[in-house]
């Protein structure tokens, strides 16, 4: 069995389990920003966003560089890649399922062709 950096995966998955944090990542994917800039679009307090950023930082998803009173944050995608690698192990399962679904659709189409006009 492949060895995973379990604790990192824990933190990464937990970090992206929150919609606000996913939105923060999406924003930073466009361009780096300071805490205040990141917080602007969100309906919660700056403090709340500051905490979210801390969670993302601890998951390794955000790199913070302090410049004077501003904290510049940028995305670090590396942990997302690790998460993706973990998920890929399950790809074969959903591929199988999609194959089955496709076969089912094809079968249904053939049936429809035979019994033309019937809707079941």
Partner DNA sequence: CCTATATTCAACCAAGTGGTTGAATACCAA
Partner DNA sequence: TTGGTATTCAACCACTTGGTTGAATATAGG
Which residues are near a second copy by CB under 8 A? Answer: 1, 6, 9-11, 13-14, 16-19, 22, 25-26, 29, 75, 77-78, 80-81, 83-84, 86-91, 93-94, 97
Residues 46 and 36 sit within 8 Å (Cβ to Cβ): yes
* 71 interacts with, out of DNA, a second copy, none, CB within 5 to 8 A per kind: DNA
* 16 interacts with, out of a second copy, DNA, none, CB within 5 to 8 A per kind: a second copy
Is residue 26 part of the contact set for DNA (CB under 7 A)? no
User: For residue 50, what are the β-bridge partners?
Assistant: none
- To DNA, the closest distance from the beta carbon of 70 in angstroms equals 4
* 9 interacts with, out of DNA, a second copy, none, CB within 5 to 8 A per kind: a second copy
At residue 118, φ and ψ (nearest 5 deg) are -75, 140
Which of 18, 112 has the CB closer to DNA?
18
Q: Which of 16, 111, 101 lies closest to 55, judged by CA?
A: 16
Choose one: 16-24, 82-90, 94-102, 103-111; the region binding DNA (CB under 7 A).
Answer: 16-24
User: Tokens 């089912």 appear where?
Assistant: 104
Q: Write b or e for each residue in 73-91: b if 16 or more Cβ atoms lie within 10 A of its Cβ, otherwise e.
A: bebeeebbebbeeeeeeee
């Amino acid at each position: 069995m492949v060895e995973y950096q379990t604790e990192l995966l824990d933190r990464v998955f937990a970090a992206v389990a929150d919609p606000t944090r996913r939105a923060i990542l999406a924003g930073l994917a466009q361009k780096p920003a300071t805490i205040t800039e990141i917080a602007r679009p969100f309906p919660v307090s700056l403090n709340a966003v500051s905490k979210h950023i801390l969670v993302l930082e601890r998951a390794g998803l955000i790199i913070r560089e302090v410049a004077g009173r501003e904290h510049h944050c940028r995305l670090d995608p590396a942990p997302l890649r690790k998460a993706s690698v973990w998920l890929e192990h399950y790809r074969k399962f959903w591929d199988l399922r999609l194959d089955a679904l496709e076969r089912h659709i094809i079968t249904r189409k053939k049936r429809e062709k035979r019994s033309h006009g019937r809707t079941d």
